[in-house]
Amino acid sequence: MDWEPGLVPELCVTDLAASQRFWCGLLGFSEKYTRLNEGFAYLVLDKAHLMLDQAGIGRTWITAALETPLGRGVNFQLSVPSIEPVLDRLKAAGWPLFGGLEERWYRTGARETGVRQFLVQDPDGYLVRPQESLGSRPVQG
């Protein structure tokens, strides 16, 4: 039986093809399936699942005027096995980072969990935070 997540965000996008190039070509997702006549794509990267829905094609739930950048107030944390290939693809494409590469340790109870991460915006302005695990350690100081 395939593992399926309990929550799958669906992003309203303005250009499905441009979004697919970013999410698949640059971040490393693959298409699980598409319904191009509806402007829809379901994408997967390991345990991360994401749906893209182009506004104005098929059925779209829009609750207010769409103003870029879309997704204000949210960022999508994306676990990747290695951050370097993602950075290399973005650099080769000339894609700007929103926040540079950093190493961070976050307290998670009696331990800290470490990540290498950066921030990047997709074509519609959705903020994505790819991160590579550095493992965990006892709380410092």
Whether 126 maps to a domain, the answer reads yes
CATH number of the domain where residue 28 is located: 3.10.180.10
Whether 70 maps to a domain, the answer reads no
Average pLDDT on 50-77 reads 87
Which residues have CB under 8 Å from 49's CB, separation 6+? Answer: 4, 5, 8, 32, 42, 43
**Structural domains counted in the chain:** 1
Segment 81-134, tens digit of pLDDT: 999 999 999 999 999 999 999 999 999 999 999 999 999 999 999 999 999 999
Pairing of strands 48-54, 10-13: parallel
The structure's pTM equals: 0.91
Q: Let me know: does 124 contact 52? Beta carbons within 8 Å.
A: no
Whether 25 maps to a domain, the answer reads yes
Whether 64 maps to a domain, the answer reads no
Whether 99 maps to a domain, the answer reads yes
Whether 117 maps to a domain, the answer reads yes
Note down the domain range covering 15.
10-59+75-138
Dist. CA 139–CA 62, nearest whole Å: 44
Split at pLDDT 50, 70, 90, the class of 2 is low
